[in-house]
Amino acid sequence: MYRIVLTAAAAVLLLNGAALAEESCKSSGKPLPKSEIEKKLTDQGYVKIRGLEFHDGCYEAKGFDKAGKRFELEIDAATGKIVTRE
C-alpha cells in the first residue's frame, strides 16, 4: 500500500514539474539564432548536440556533455538561459 501511494505521489510531482517547466519556457523576446544557442551550449560543456528544435518560445536541445552524459535541455530562446535540465 505504501509503495502505491509513493508511486502515485511521485507521478503527480513529475507531471506538475513538467507543466511548470513548460510554462516557464514562454519567452516574449526575439529568438536568438540556433548557431548562437549552440555556441552558448558548447561553451558550457554540452559538446555533442544531437538535436535543437524551437517551440513555444524555447529551444529544446538533446545530446551529450563532455563527460559523455546524455542531456535534454529547455532553453529560453530570447536569452539562451537554460530553463530546465534532464
Domain map of the chain by residue range? Answer: 2-85
Helices (H), the chain: 2-24, 34-43
Lowest mean pLDDT, pick from 7-16, 31-40, 44-53: 7-16
Whether pLDDT at 30 is above 70:
yes
Q: What is the mean pLDDT of the chain?
A: 81
Query: Mean pLDDT throughout 50-68?
Result: 93
Cell triple for 63: 545530446
H or E segment and range at residue 49: strand 48-55
Looking at this protein, which amino acid is placed at residue 52? L
Q: Is the pTM of this model over 0.85?
A: no
DSSP state of 78: T
Question: Which CATH number is associated with domain 2-85?
Answer: 3.10.450.40
What distance in Å separates the CA atoms of residue 64 and residue 54, rounded to the nearest whole number?
19
